Amino acid sequence: MTLSHAQAGGHSGLLITFEGPEGSGKTTLVHALTEHLVRAGVEPVVVREPGGTDSGEQIRHVLLDPAGQDLCPEAELLLMIASRTQLVREKIGPALGAGMIVLCDRFADASVAYQGWGRELGIDVVARLNEFALAGLVPDVTFLCLLPPEQGRARLVNRAVDRLDRESLAFHRRVYEGYLAMAASGDPRFHVIDAMASPVAMLEAALARLRKLEHGLLKYV
C-alpha cells in the first residue's frame, strides 16, 4: 500500500488535489475551498498544473498554446512530467515539509487521464514517469469533479479555449473514461463530486469529506 506524503515523510502536511475534465468546475472549487480555509484561519499553498513555478508556467504556455498543434503526444507527456517534477521539488515538497495544506489544481492523475487515456499512450507508461516525478508523493485526498464531456464543453463558450479545449469530442470522452476508471478503482483517496451541482453544493461535499480526515490542520474547517 502506498503511503501519503505526510505519512511517508513523518510530518503533518496535507496534499489535496482536484481533478476533472474541462468545464468541471474544479478550479472554482479550489478557489472556494481556499477562501473557506482562509476564513477558518488556515492559509493554504495553492498551485496548479501544468505550472505553479516560473519554469512550469513557461511549460504551461507551450502545452496550452492553440498554435502548438504539432506537439506530439509523447512530448506533451514529457513536458507535463517536467513541470510536475519542478513543482514537487520547488513548491509542494517544501510546503508539506513545513506542515502546510497544499491545494493543487490538477496533479499526477491528470496525466493518467489526458495522456494515458486521452492520447492513448497507456497508463503504465504514465505511471512509470509519474513515479519518477513524484518520488513517493501521493495526495491525501483527490477530488474528482465529474460530468460528461458534452456538458463540460458547453461551459467553455465564455472563456478563451486552449489547445486541449480544441481537441475532439472523442478525445475528451476518453479523458472522461479515464476519470471514471479512477472513481471505480476503489482507491480511498478518490472522492467523486457531482460537477452538475452548484458551486456551493460542490464546496459542501468537499468539506464533508475533509472533515472525515480528522486531520489537525482541518480542526477548524
Closest C-alpha among 121, 14, 39, 40 to residue 78 = 121
pTM: predicted TM-score of the whole model, two decimal places: 0.92
Between the two ends of the chain, the Cα-to-Cα distance in Å is: 28
* Pairing verdict, β 14-19 and 101-105: parallel
Q: Are 105 and 61 in contact (CB under 8 A)?
A: no
Residue 77: the pLDDT is: 98
CA–CA gap between residue 197 and residue 199 (Å, rounded): 7
Residues 32-90: pLDDT tens digits?
Answer: 999 999 999 999 999 999 999 999 999 999 999 988 788 999 999 999 999 999 999 99
- Alpha carbon of 147 to those of 23, 94, 161: distances in Å? 8, 34, 19
- Alpha carbon of 138 to those of 5, 78, 146, 194: distances in Å? 6, 19, 21, 23
Q: Is the dihedral of CA 133, 108, 121, 25 positive or negative?
A: negative
CA–CA gap between residue 197 and residue 157 (Å, rounded): 19
- Choosing among 1.10.10.10, 3.40.50.300, 3.30.2350.10, 3.40.50.1110, the CATH entry for 5-212 is 3.40.50.300
- Give the confidence band of 11 by pLDDT, cuts at 50, 70, 90: low
Residues 146-197: pLDDT tens digits?
Answer: 999 888 777 777 777 788 888 889 999 999 999 999 999 999 999 999 999 9
Q: Where are the domains of the chain?
A: 5-212
Residues 106-122: pLDDT tens digits?
Answer: 999 999 999 999 999 99
